[in-house]
Chains A and B, each alone.
Chain A
């Protein structure tokens, strides 16, 4: 009787028990627990319903052949398509209805990330040691929209769109490639700096751009004071200003400045627009002769400058500059301190300055830096950074819990504080807020460099318009930079109203008068159209272009009918007045002769301003032109429209000229 023979029964029994253990281990899967919970919930929710609840235990799987995705999320997320589970706890909560996103077709992970194949919470949600593509945090969720819809989702995916815009506005594209998009150089050119700014100011600026101008897009390179001095020294190489005296009259200068409504774009003493730089300390920044040049012809200095050419006479400019250099000094600047800084710069090393300027990649945003080759795109390519592998991202010495070691978190923190992970990294600090960082992270994540099948693509939102007026009008638009504030055919700013149909809207006399001496129609507006020195030929050209090009047939076709409307008839006008004040209470929002609401434009003298066709057209459907106008829509009968039009056009200013 051998040893092995003796232990045979024990071994056999043991292996049998192990087999049972094995079966148990396989049977005992976490998803079952969730399904039992769900079943219970389902039962109590559907008590009283006629047909019995049928619920099959087991795996649920969505398989998209085209996307090559297998998602088993619904094995536990069982209430997705059942509205009764709207307020049920996860994992049973109903999926919110987002337009046509039928997950029967799209699956889950295509948008949400995570591991669709997995059937345990840890593996499915991630990250795990062997699967880093974790679920996207809600904050970054919108990045997936771009897969099918493109990235210009102003309304549908505001965060993504904001990130997209910021990426280019803040000059990220200056250093980082992004999906074959054209490079944008956002900063001003830095030629003849020595003729432009004072050395102590440049030093302070480099030490902390936001201290001088809080809204600036210039990031902080985190220079040490020595480095700042060196870079300044390098940038200020070359001859200084000629020192020609700018002698003018501060008094008239001030009036011109105020009349010219510089505050529409520039902030002065904390008040005004954000488009141009802060002005109230400009005298301690730039030399008077530079200021003169800027006011005279900004485009000659920087072709992309947003500042219009006002067309002042030299005398006026002298006055303005004189006033500015007297008034707009940096008051809390200490003379000795400034002198010390100037001294520091004077003793700075140009060579080291140059090295720093190159290393820091100033050329990413600034052109014409003397002695530096303009090679942009120093940063890594972002074109597919949204799907970068975690192992390529360096978390430095920062201890990050494994669960948080994800690509989105890395990007987010990198943008939030670029030098977090390692000393001596290049990327400068923009001091982005959490929201801003989130937006840019979302955009970066959307750069997946991958295509979804054609049947899935559905571009939404407005692509950027490439409208560029030519000829005489084009020159004018360029000279006065109209598109900084106004939008034409989808191109331009949001500050002032859209001019795409201006020609159909306003009357010749009014627009010509307005261009000469613009006043505001909307009571509540701060930004106001600056009074440019428009020349008569320009004025004619503007109107000609409006009348020929910026028109819509919808309005032009009304000319016939409107002529037949007998808008002058006093009876009709009186009807209109009734409707205006009593039936529809238009005065709640519109003013006539200082009476009425402040929401809509002032309607005094509309008869001189708007073309009757336009008024009719607009009353028919206020949303037809301005999609988001706050105007309510009334189902006005043609008769009412006729009457209202007649009344509005008849309104005359009670102020006697």
Chain B
């Protein structure tokens, strides 16, 4: 009996071998749902989600550095220096007030200071400190303050 099996066995073994090697030994681990469940131990880095665009983000940094001292961190016009000013700084979170200015005006105010819009000299000109790109970043950010 076994004798008859000889060649068939050979044939089968050889073919199976051929196809098994053909598929290659794969050790890839797919992410199954229950594996994810065990994941909290292992943290996958995720972007700190920010609603700001890249430009607005750059603007935010500049704002915090140059503007917040008077206009306040969130544009409420309550920076620590505001108390000392003869004319209270503009409130950037006031939508109705801000709507009276076009982006061009805001940019002008930043670059040329208060006098550029015929307002108080307490607002100094930053045109020679900030690049045009930085100014437009700032404008973009200032706009976000009066949005919500």
Contacts and interface: CB of A to CB of B under 8 A. Distances in A.
Interface of A: 96, 128-129, 137-140, 395, 398-405, 408-409, 412-413, 416, 420, 434, 438, 524, 582-585, 588-589, 591, 596-599, 623, 628, 630-635
Interface stretch (B13-21, B116-124, B138-146): B116-124
Nearest to A416: B43
A420 B39 CA distance: 12
B81 A623 contact: no
A402 B28 contact: yes
B41 A420 contact: yes
Contact of B65 (A412, A582, A583, A630): A630
Contacts, number: 104
B147 interface: no
B45 A409 contact: yes
Interface residues on B, range: 35 or more
B45 A438 contact: yes
Given A399-B35, A413-B43, A129 B120 contact: no
B80 A583 contact: no
B120 A585 contact: yes
Task: Name which of A584, A585, A598 has the most chain B CB atoms within 10 A of its CB.
Answer: A585
Contact of B129 (A395, A401, A632): A632
Given A139-B46, A401-B39, A412-B43, 9 more contacts: A129-B27, A129-B28, A139-B47, A401-B29, A402-B28, A413-B43, A434-B43, A585-B120, A623-B129
B121 A584 contact: yes
A632 B31 contact: no
A402 B42 CA distance: 13
Contacts of B2: none
Main secondary structure, interface of A, reads: loop
Given A137-B45, A598-B80, A599-B81, A630 B128 contact: no
Nearest to A408: B45
A96 B129 contact: no
B89 to A, nearest CB: 9
Contact of B84 (A139, A400, A405, A596): A596
Interface in B22-61: 26-32, 35-36, 38-39, 41-47, 54
A632 B84 contact: no
Contacts of B123: 585, 588
B124 A585 contact: yes
B66 interface: yes
The 8 closest A-B pairs by CB, nearest first: A401-B31, A585-B121, A632-B124, A633-B128, A588-B122, A402-B29, A597-B84, A129-B28
Task: Name which of B45, B69, B114 has the most chain A CB atoms within 10 A of its CB.
Answer: B45
B81 A632 contact: no
Nearest to B128: A633
A632 B113 CA distance: 10
Contacts of B38: 398-399
Main secondary structure, interface of B, reads: loop
Contacts of A416: 43
A24 B86 CA distance: 78
Nearest to B66: A630
Contacts of A524: 80
B27 to A, nearest CB: 7
Interface string B73-98: 00000001100110000000000000
5 contacts: A129-B28, A596-B84, A628-B65, A634-B125, A634-B128
A635 B112 CA distance: 11
B91 to A, nearest CB: 17
Contacts of A128: 28
Contacts of A400: 29, 35, 39, 42
Contact of B45 (A139, A420, A634): A139
A584 B46 CA distance: 47
Contacts of A631: 129
Contacts of A434: 43, 45
A138 B29 contact: no
B109 to A, nearest CB: 13
A630 B124 CA distance: 11
Contacts of B31: 401-404
A598 B66 contact: no
Contact of A588 (B29, B45, B47, B85): B85
B121 A582 contact: yes
Nearest to A630: B66
A89 to B, nearest CB: 15
Contact of B36 (A401, A408, A589): A401
Contacts of A405: 29
B26 A96 contact: no
B131 to A, nearest CB: 13
A140 B44 CA distance: 12
B126 A632 contact: yes
Contacts of B36: 401
Nearest to B36: A401
A129 B38 CA distance: 22
